[in-house]
Amino acid sequence: MSELEQLQQLIESKKDSDPSLSYTAKLFSQGIEEIQKKFGEESIELIIASNQDNKKNVINESADVLYHLLVLLSEKSVTLKEVISELGRRSGMSGLEEKAGRNK
């Protein structure tokens, strides 16, 4: 099992935990809008970090983005396996071709 799969399992296990004891549980208790907001904030922090000459910051902010993405996916009942399957489906296809084939 990959680190991301382990993290996804941990995140899932925190859904019904006490929000006063778990940051993850607190995010879930605040609902989708707060989860979306945190994901957006972390994404912006990664963009800012990528404009600086500090690899460590990019790594740290990337980890934050991945964590908050997994929380968002969990809230929407989407598994990492489903996302990876979609990436596999797209493999060998140009980005333009893939985009044109999406359901509208």
List, for residues 18-56, the tens digit of each pLDDT value.
999 999 999 999 999 999 999 999 999 999 999 999 999
CB 65 within 8 Å of CB 43: yes
Dihedral angle sign, alpha carbons of residues 25, 77, 7, 52: negative
CA 55 vs. chain centroid, Å, equals: 20
Query: Buried (b) or exposed (e) across 15-25, using 16+ Cβ within 10 A?
Result: eeeeeeebebb
Amino acid at site 88: G
pLDDT in tens, 72-98: 999 999 999 999 999 998 887 676 765
Q: What is the pTM of this model?
A: 0.86
- Going along the chain from its start, the domains and CATH numbers come out as 3-100 (1.10.287.1080)
CA 88 vs. chain centroid, Å, equals: 18
